[in-house]
A and B are shown apart, each in its own frame.
Chain A
Amino acid sequence: MNLAEFVANPDLLSRKMDEARALLTSRVGVNAGIKSAADIEALLDNEVIEEVDWEPLYQAAEQFD
């Protein structure tokens, strides 16, 4: 619709919006995964079994006050 149509028929805006609303979805694309507290428990139980050098992490703290 254009502005001239709106001036001629102000109710047209609401009808057009109702038409648009009928096509909307409430779904949102989000990252997913953890469904329960048991999933978080499993994460904590599943320990890392290789040696990791954490020194770079500590050194990152020395780069600023």
Chain B
Amino acid sequence: MSDDTLLPADLQNRLATAYINKILATVRNLQIPLDAVILSPTELTLALRECQKDMDILRFRRTGNIGVGYEDFDGISIGKLAGSLAFRLSRYHIVHVAEQAVSGFPENVRRRCAKLQELAALFFIWDNILKIRPPKTQPELLYLLSRRHMNQEMIGLTFDVYSERGERLKTRTPLDQPPFNRLFKHA
């Protein structure tokens, strides 16, 4: 794995697979035919490339260096990673649901379909990145992400607060052990 970037291509592929698995879980929950959901690997690649830029620009701002050879680098917060991922995975045209496939479905299913990418992005963030139970304030977060505007760093700061205050989920390795005790801060 290259040290020149925080998000090398092989890691981007892993993140992409985890995200698409959240799309899949959401679609299965809605009982939409799988072949009615069109994926764009190109848009997904572009989204994660932009996320890579976000992270590497943050690192450059923190260190004044690109790549290895920096000292006194305390890292980038987990909320900033989450913010960049959620923002980029919501903004690119990664998933399209064929309208005729859901035309006969109840209104609540069609409303879920209309935010499929954003739902999967939040699902992915809570489960794969922040490891917290979905917070009660997430409806407005979903509205912000899908219908209003913010930038990746502001939503990143929001995720830092969620990470600090949220109810932790049980993980295979407890989060108070290295390296996670460096990534997760408790209020």
Contact = CB atoms under 8 A, between A and B. Distances in A.
B183 A62 contact: no
A32 B75 contact: yes
B11 A33 contact: no
Contacts of A62: 108, 111-112
Contact of B170 (A30, A44, A49): A49
B81 A34 contact: yes
A47 B127 CA distance: 8
Contacts, number: 131
Interface string B1-39: 111011110010011001000000110011000000000
B15 A33 contact: no
Contacts of B160: 31
Given A38-B179, A40-B81, A44-B14, 18 more contacts: A31-B77, A31-B160, A32-B75, A33-B75, A33-B184, A34-B77, A34-B78, A35-B75, A37-B3, A41-B14, A43-B128, A46-B171, A46-B173, A48-B170, A52-B127, A54-B123, A57-B138, A61-B119
User: Lowest 6 CB-CB distances: which A-B pairs, in order?
Assistant: A31-B77, A32-B74, A60-B139, A35-B75, A50-B170, A33-B183
